[in-house]
Structure 1
Amino acid sequence: MTRLSVNLNAVAQLRNRRDLPWPSVTGIAKLVIEAGAAGITVHPRPDERHIRRTDVFDLSALLAADHPGIEFNIEGYPTDQFLELVETVRPHQATLVPDDPSQSTSDHGWDFAAHSDFLSAVTARLKGAGARVSLFCDPDAGVEGIARAQKTGADRIELYTGPYGACYADSAGAAHQLALMAETADAARAAGLGINAGHDLTVSNLPAFIARVAGVDEVSIGHGITADALLMGFPEAVRRYNAALGS
């Protein structure tokens, strides 16, 4: 069964428009957990334009005290500051992305050949802190890319589903992207890696993704589920996304 992790960055970004404590990041976390989310994801960036360091600690405390069975996933580029944060908070999972700090959002996976030594060292450090390590992966990484990812010692890949999400009005393009991701996912499973996915996944495109790309452990969804929550509320949005996952 594919588990749903709700990314709360968009909630934090809305809060940060004013010097006010609402919408509450921890409050929304409680709502989505009660509605059936299996995990919480955050992506703190150095400029704190959405998730702040304080949010990371507040969420960690909330989950430890009230929801110990809910997974906490922290995404980010592995700067020393990020690594120290993960070592302090000790989330269940750390997802490493090759973002420039100025990027508005993640838009590509790692070049596993170029960054093999770097990722191997970072992965070993984070696993020493008790975190499962997932590496952001292009949909067309294929067998060769997965072989390089596996050599870093990582536990999982996260398929970057942005190109698939961009095909919302292009059925042929969507089918092509699904075929690429299915090949990469097959290679990952064969290499003993778990499979996560995320970026521009929606209630509409999730069923086809889950049907075509086998063995996905977890999807991390923020923008789409937040947009839907503006219309129907977070609890109902979570229920609909879980239904789209077949949960």
Structure 2
Amino acid sequence: MSTVLSVNLNAVAMLRNRRDLPWPSVTGMGRIALAAGAAGLTVHPRPDERHIRFSDLPDLRALIDAEFPKAEFNIEGYPTPEFLDLALSVRPEQVTLVPDHPSQPTSDHGWNFAEHEAMLAPVVERLKKAGARVVLFADPDPKGFGIAAAMGVDRLELYTGPYGGTFADPTVAARELERLGRAGDEARALGLGLNAGHDLTVANLPALIERLPFIEEVSIGHGLTADALEYGMHATVGRFIVALSPR
């Protein structure tokens, strides 16, 4: 099994939103990423639309349907009724539920499954009935993974932020990598699929994939967009795909 790349377009949208101008084009950059081999696009529409705007979603859906019908649309967000209605309006292949407060600049922790089971279970059921793959954002701590499995969740997305933050300390990086490895092993033992995301780079992906070769998808935005400023989006997607390839 090979790990696929979903390109998160939030950072592109945030740059666009600095001016009342239509560039950089979110759909245009999504087109380049998919043409370069990305398996899908990810967006996280927040209530204040500070990066992805609600109006971007149908445009991206139309792009995928018209030009890249094998690609997937992954929509992330906190499961408010408004978010769920918005997400389902564009028929995403995957919905990733995150426990973010709307004021957070980015996702920085996973769900407490025991605390939020009663809220999440009917949401998971609704999304699955609509035909979406359902993913829950998870810390690299297996506690509660069984609750997620019992809810019928398809996958967990391991929060890799602490691992990504160890770029200057190989010893700490190895420790964080093993935390992710143990959590991923437990998820797999429970029959859960596995995604990963946050602060992943060309430099730290190979070790992650070597330890967890059954990761099905990584969603990458900030690091990929930063590299695209230097290498261009098409070449950057290629670099990340190579980094995901088994050595």
| Fold shared by both chains (TM-score > 0.5) | yes
Counterpart residue type for residue 34 of structure 1? A
Q: Counterparts of 2:47 and 2:87 in 1: how far apart (Å)? A: 14
Aligned positions of 1:163-182 closer than 5 A:
163-182=162-181
2:92 equivalent in structure 1: 91
Counterpart code for 1:188: A
Alpha-carbon distance in structure 1 between the residues aligned to 2:192 and 2:183: 11
| Structure 1 residue 191 displacement after superposition | 1.0
Asked if structure 2 preserves the Cα contact closer than 8 Å seen for 1:109 and 1:138, the reply is yes
In structure 1, the partner of 2:242 is 243
1:1-247 matches, within 5 Å, as 1-139=2-140, 141-142=141-142, 144-246=143-245
Give yes or no for contact 2:3–2:213 (8 Å, CA) kept in 1. no
| Cα deviation, residue 190, structure 1 | 1.2
Gaps of 5+ in 1: none
Larger deviation, residues 145-154 vs 77-86: 145-154
- Counterpart amino acid of 2:16? R
Rounded to whole Å, the distance in 2 between the matches of 1:191 and 1:55 is 36
Give the CA deviation at 1:212: 1.2
TM-score of the pair, normalised by structure 1:
0.97
Q: Secondary structure at the match of 1:99?
A: coil
Secondary structure at the counterpart of residue 196 of structure 1: strand
CA contact (8 A) 1:4 1:37 kept: yes
Shift of 1:146: 1.3
**Offset, 1:148:** 1.5
Partner of 1:6, secondary structure, is: strand
Query: Aligned with 1:115: secondary structure?
Result: helix
- Alpha-carbon distance between aligned partners in 1 of 2:220 and 2:14, rounded to the nearest angstrom: 15
The alpha-carbon deviation at position 18 of structure 1 amounts to: 0.4
Q: Which amino acid aligns with 1:116?
A: E
For 2:70, the aligned partner's letter is G
Give the number of aligned pairs: 245
Q: How much has 1:4 moved relative to structure 2?
A: 0.3
* TM-score, length of structure 2 as denominator length: 0.97
SS in 1 for 2:218: strand
Once residues 170 and 129 of structure 1 are traced to their aligned partners in structure 2, the CA distance between those partners, rounded to angstroms, is 44
**Superposition RMSD in Å:** 0.9
SS at match of 2:79: coil
> Matched residues, percent identical?
62
Aligned equivalents of 2:28, 2:34: Cα separation in 1: 10
SS in structure 1 of the partner of residue 174 of structure 2: helix
Q: Structure 1 CA distance, aligned partners of 2:131 and 2:214?
A: 24
Q: 4+ runs of 1 displaced by more than 6 Å?
A: none
- Cα-to-partner distance string for 1:158-204 (whole Å, 9 max, x where unaligned): 00000000111111111111111111111111111110000000000
Residues 117 and 152, structure 1, Cα contact 8 Å, conserved in 2: no
